[in-house]
Amino acid sequence: MQYSKPSYSVQNQIERLKGKGLQFEKEYEAESFFQYNNYYRWKGYAYHFQDHNALNSLFTKTTHFETITEIYNFDRELRSLIFSSIETIEIALKAQIIYQYSLVYGSHWYLNPDLFRDKRMYLDSMKVLFGEVSGSKEMFIGHYLNKYNDPSLPPVWSCLEIVSFGYMSKFFKNLKGGNCKKDVAQMFGLADPNILDNWIQCISVLRNICAHHGRLWRRKFLPVTIPKNPSKCFVNDIGSPFDLYAPICCIKYLSDRINPNNDFKEKLKILLNKYPSIDTKYLGFPLDWKQEMFWK
């Protein structure tokens, strides 16, 4: 079937929403909003306020544009907070992988395929890494390539600095289990490296959603694996492992391990207090989450 829907002006967009029963307190503010915010992006939040069994997917009861836009703005600020915290985790993960393995295997240990589980995945990752190094404008990469030719790639502490978190997630997961991998996990307060594998993968996917300004509210994510014997306090009730609350708990746990004086918890509580109308159950927060020692 050929797509034939027309484009609509901002005024037409608002009229269509009014025709579906959406109410506006200050219509001129909606006009300004849609000038700088994609109508289709905003509809991802509006979707949950519509009766999709009714003709034309009418909005339920007295739904206001301002109510949906408040959730939209809250989600934007939550995204920013999470993205900033993940940056710290990404930098720390790279540092620990580089440190623990380099002390044992030297500067170019990543060139040894015997350290990795899946050889095909390893070869694919090396192709990506070679492309990243070849296209890098970083001075430390250029310095190595201009001065040395054996090995042809720079040491691990240079190479892994220029790759993405997504790359690091797959790279770390493909490393064989052993003392080095256990040491990395223990530095993040986890006895089982497989738990850290899972957490990093989940956080990496979440980071990409945040980086591309994706919706977090009422969304499902990769399931988080619960640690059995964490070295520090963890939540008793993580809720659904598919909801946002689960990776948020992982981010806080790792952040506390990296920097006990971090302010992620305080900023999260401030944000939730700023938007008291936001129902955190749609983010997977249990009703009594504030009573957990983990959040006190």
The token pair at 61 is 């009861």
> If you search the block for the tokens 């890494």, which residue do you land on?
129
Place of tokens 């700023």: 274
Q: Is 119 helix (H, G, I), strand (E, B) or coil?
A: helix
Paired strand residues for 23: 64
- Mean pLDDT rounded to a whole number for the chain: 95
Separation CA 185–CA 194 (nearest Å): 9
The per-residue pLDDT string of the chain (296 residues; one tens digit each, 9 = 90 and over) reads: 898 888 899 999 999 999 999 999 999 999 999 999 999 999 999 999 998 887 778 888 789 999 999 999 999 999 999 999 999 999 999 999 999 999 999 999 999 999 999 999 999 999 999 999 999 999 999 999 999 999 999 999 999 999 999 999 999 999 999 999 999 999 999 999 999 999 999 999 999 999 999 999 999 999 999 998 888 899 999 999 999 999 999 999 999 999 999 999 999 999 999 999 999 999 999 999 999 999 99
Task: Please say whether the dihedral angle defined by the alpha carbons of residues 109, 111, 114 and 116, taken in this order, is positive or negative.
Answer: positive
- The model's pTM is 0.93
